[in-house]
Structure 1
Amino acid sequence: MSGDGARDREGGSFWRDNSLTLAFGSAFLVVLFLQALAGHAQFNEDLAADGLQRIGLGEYLMSSDFAVDVSENWQSEFLQFFLFVFGTVWLVQRGSPESKELHKIGTESDRDQRAGDHARADSPRWAGTKDWRQGLYSRSLGLVMGGLFLLSWVAQSIAGMSAYDEQQLRRLQDPVGWGAYVLSPDFWNRTLQNWQSELLAVAAMVILSVFLRQRGSPESKPVGSSHGATGVEG
């Protein structure tokens, strides 16, 4: 019996077996709620400064200002993972657990990927096919991340245009269309601020994990691994 199969059969409580997703999902909801409260307070301060009536929390949650603040962060996160998932197929970093082993650059063989004739009994059904289904499934993670990035990018652009036009009207200036807003400095200032921070975070994680360790984390190499060990998880 393989080690992976034995561990899977040990089972455990629902909370333990899904604790990573549950913890981060719960933290996301808490932070999103706190962001809504802080954003609502700031938005009302801006309204008061312009001599306008304050709005309630529910109205703020339905506003374009809240939507653009949320969506611009989401699209940068999904972009980060989309680039990382696809980039690590071909790009490597010697000594990093975030990289695969140096000799495995590329999409790898069916044997390495347990696909086609090399699929196992517990492999996903589409992994054992030899047609478009395997091709689609074998790239499904990156494609979904890319799709989520595009959807959140479009949502950000639409909500950002609406928020921008509201400010234009407050200043007694003409609103702009979607095309003009997507080419505007306001849109790209918001967008590039997030992109550069996400790319920096990935680059820092990749290179720092070469020399630094976090005992027990799969994002780190084992404490005693050499700095040159690549693709090894703790």
Structure 2
Amino acid sequence: MSSFSRFFYQNGLLLVTFVLIMSALLGQVLTGWHDNNDDLQQMGLAALTLGQYLHSGHLLEATFENWESEFLQMGVYVVLTIWLRQKGSPESKKLDELEDVDQRPDPTKPGAPWPVRRGGLWLHLYQHSLSLALFGLFFGAFYLHARGGAMVYNIEQGHEGKPLVTVWGYMHTARFWFESFQNWQSEFVSIFSLVGLSIFLRQQSSPQSKPVDAPTTETGK
């Protein structure tokens, strides 16, 4: 196996996902550019070049409105699966026994990460680094959603001769929270669907599924 083939084999999931992200983002940029220019034309305003659109509130809002909900979904899912269980789902920890992730970190274990060997505050941060990172990304995307939304909102307000708002002011509008809640609920639906459907349905060779010949609600899960 060549070095490239081995690299792709070891990192294929991230690489393919990254290509899908960039492809979808390119499609979003091109279609969003035309859609935004249609809106501007209806208001009698000058159309944006593609370069100008890349710095627009329209693109900023649309992008981070979705990223915000994704990071929230993953953060909530990571935290909920610490304590909550679902019988029959491979997305849940076992009902009646501890798993490897529940064991206390062992600083003497060969290859243990530096924070584990260091202990104290560094260990505490490392123990919760995944959820901290996801919620940090959520709040960052939440702010950028509000910032982009305020830019779009102020273009509309200015066109209608109404007062402009700050980012904080936009976060007090029903429009901002409608945009957020409609995305949040869809992400919670995806968690519910994945956990619920994985009890009864199978996908050959996927780690997100139980073995095809496994009972629907075997003991322990």
Task: Report the TM-score when normalising by structure 1.
Answer: 0.86
* Residues 1:210 and 2:204 aligned together: no
> What's the offset of the Cα at 1:163?
1.3
Name 1:9's counterpart in structure 2: none
Q: What is the distance in 1 between the residues matched to 2:78 and 2:97?
A: 15
Name the structure 2 match of 1:4. none
Q: More displaced, 99-108 or 120-129?
A: 99-108
Q: Do 1:101 and 1:230's aligned partners in 2 also have CA atoms closer than 8 Å?
A: no
Counterpart of 2:209 in structure 1: which amino acid?
S
Moved more, 138-147 or 154-163: 154-163
Cα shift at 1:179:
2.7
Segments of structure 2 that go 5 or more residues without pairing to the other structure are none
2:161 to 172, 185, 193: 172
Give the TM-score normalised by structure 2. Answer: 0.91
The answer to whether 1:222 aligns with 2:215 is no
CA spacing shift, 1:201–1:207, aligned 2, 3 Å: same
Matched, 1:15 2:17: no
Distance change (3 Å), C-alpha of 1:151 and 1:144: same
Equivalenced residue count is 216
Matches for 1:38-187 after TM superposition, within 5 Å? 38-104=31-97, 108-110=102-104, 115-117=105-107, 119-187=108-176
Which amino acid in the other structure matches residue 102 of structure 2? E
Alignment partners' CA distance in 2, 1:180 and 1:120: 52
C-alpha distance 141-230 of structure 1, shift in aligned 2 (>3 A): farther
Instruction: Please state how far the C-alpha of 1:230 moved relative to its aligned partner.
Output: 7.5
The more displaced of 47-56 and 147-156 is 47-56
> 1:192-225 CA distances to partner (integer Å, 9 max, x unpaired)?
1110000000110001000000000000000011
Percent identity over the alignment is: 35
Q: State the distance in 1 between where 2:132 and 2:22 align.
A: 25
Verify the 8 A CA contact 2:96 2:220 in the aligned structure 1: no
Helix, strand or coil: the match of 2:96?
helix
Query: Cα RMSD (Å) of the superposition?
Result: 1.9
Cα shift at 1:104: 4.5
Q: Is the 8 A contact 1:82 1:146 kept in 2?
A: yes
1:32-74: CA deviation from partner (whole Å, max 9, x where unpaired): 0100001001111112222222211111111011101001111
Distance 1:131 1:100, change over 3 A: same
Alignment of 1:19-30 (within 5 A): 19-30=12-23
SS of corresponding position for 2:109: coil
Q: SS at the partner of 2:185?
A: helix
